Structure 1
Amino acid sequence: MSPKSVFWRVVSLLWWRRRLGNLGKGSVLFAPLLVSYPKSIFIGEKVCIRDGARLEIVRNPVANWDARLVIGSRVNIEQGAHIVCQSRVVIEDDVSITPYCVIVDTYHPHDPPDIGEKIGARLPDRATSVRIGQGTFIGAHSVILPDVEIGRGCVIGAGSVVSHSLPDYCVAAGSPARVLKIYDPATRQWSKVNRFSADNLA
């Protein structure tokens, strides 16, 4: 283990464990790092969050819910990843989030666009969510949008925009992301998915 890793493990143990809602054994957060409302963030064991990441809880003034960002165990979140949570984001165990991905469970209502506060300051008046299933891999520069559930064991190609839910054990890519192939654990075989049937897999 490098001296840098040892240093940030000690910082995580002494600083972040006291400030987060939970920080499991063996987890490490590298700086620089932006964390807002840390008591609403719960992190499991052996998680690695690299420098430049953002774990951002957004307080919605109209919310009748408590925002909660939950990161399971053995998750790696690489450099520059940005996670925004105004309601509920759940990242299950063994997920890999590669550099510069964006995961957001919120959006900015824009109707009407000509009156009221600026669009970038608006938040939805309902609870939203994102869930990423166990063991899923999110390719670099991908974007996961609100109200999306990604199944377990999925692979999301680099640069994808995931705007709808995806089933377990699929490979998906594109903008918007489409299922390209899907794995059947019973037969242990992959099958390709054509464009039209992929639209019915969400």
Structure 2
Amino acid sequence: MKQDKRKLILTAAEQCFAKYGYKKTTMEDISHIVGLSKAAMYYYFNNKGEIYITIVTDAYRTLVRELREEIEKDLSCDKKIIKYFQKRLEWLYKQSYILTQITQDELIAFNNFGGGIVEEIGMEERKILMKVLQKCINDSIFRKFDVEKVSNYLFILVDGIYNFYQPSTSMEIMTQERNEVIKNDISTALQLFIRGMKPD
């Protein structure tokens, strides 16, 4: 019963964040949709920030599950790696409408409350990429290299391009057009990088 109510609150909060933005959304807005009093809301979540953190971590877990399913598909090594990062970019784009509205204090609170959880999920995510790289080496598609290091290089490459295109102000929302440019540039950069991992 408690879990069902939590799910209803999270769904209602996502609707509110999408409609009003994170800053303008209040606990009252969320409670109104769910049909709970504001006081009853605090039985499930301490504040709006905690609701947001839960939404993000749940979405991140879903992303990791989808990435795992994606690499099981019968794709070439090149396509698996590119698809892996495209899926991550789609997820980041979906989260960007809230992330631009979070204050520095709220980000610090997020790190204190959810940082460990996010780090743990992040490790799961990276293991998926390392598994792809290792299989490509085992199948002689790629030459031998340190899988963990190369995995880190790939994340640095992709994150570097992504951050280069970030809006100039924290309040500016990422547009679909800019997101498409990022996806194309990352795809091109990954293809060049992947070429270097193949035997001569």
Provide the TM-score with structure 2 as the length reference.
0.25
Higher helix share: 2
Bigger radius of gyration: 2
Provide the TM-score with structure 1 as the length reference.
0.25
